[in-house]
Amino acid sequence: MNLHPEPLTAEAFAPFGDVLDTTGDHRLINAGLCRRHHDRATLDFGPEPGRAGISIFRAAPRALPYTFDLIERHPEGSQAFLPMTADPFLVIVAPGPQAAPRAFLTNGAQGINLHRGTWHGVLTPLAAPGLFAVVDRIGPTPNLEEYRYAQPWTVLAP
């Protein structure tokens, strides 16, 4: 069961979340020295009690081809991944556990925001140090569901 990674575009990724990048409309701020690409994601922290939190993740780098059998989702909040280095990373998403997943490859200048409840693979950087700022829901209720495929999937090199 093989997947070919697609380039990450806003249109292709729209059913799963938002692409965070510096394309499209912007306004100049800071005396014209900075472009603000405004309101790029819809953050959703679900029902109370819950709040936005920023965490730092350091994930082990992987290589393509990459084999996986685990996806997860966060039913109570969105989850944004903002790389802290300019390296591409792999994004795996699925409409549901019974559906075929899709693989996207970032271009090194993109982050993502997964919609609340989106099934996705684990954080998969393709270079060290695998450092990300993550904005997601912090709260006392469970916000993680996992699913393991009966057979693994392999994402091939482009």
114, 69 contact by CB (below 8 A)? no
User: Tell me: the pLDDT tens digits for 81-112?
Assistant: 999 999 999 999 999 999 999 999 999 999 99
User: Using CA atoms, how far apart are residues 59 and 29, in angstroms rounded to an integer?
Assistant: 34
Which DSSP helix (H) or strand (E) runs through 12?
Answer: helix 10-13
pLDDT digits 0-9 by tens, 57-89: 999 999 999 999 999 999 999 999 999 999 999
Cα gap 120→101, rounded to integer Å: 8
Judge whether 14 and 99 are in contact, CB under 8 Å.
Answer: no
CA 90 to CA 132: how far, in whole Å? 13
**pTM of the predicted model as reported, rounded to 2 decimal places:** 0.93
Q: What digits encode the pLDDT tens for the residues 121-147? A: 999 999 999 999 999 999 998 899 999
CA atoms lying within 13 Å on the CB side of residue 131: 5
Report whether 54 contacts 134 (CB < 8 A): yes
Alpha carbon distance 38, 7 (integer Å): 23
- pLDDT score recorded for residue 50: 86
pLDDT of residue 110: 98
Region 21-39: what's the mean pLDDT? 94
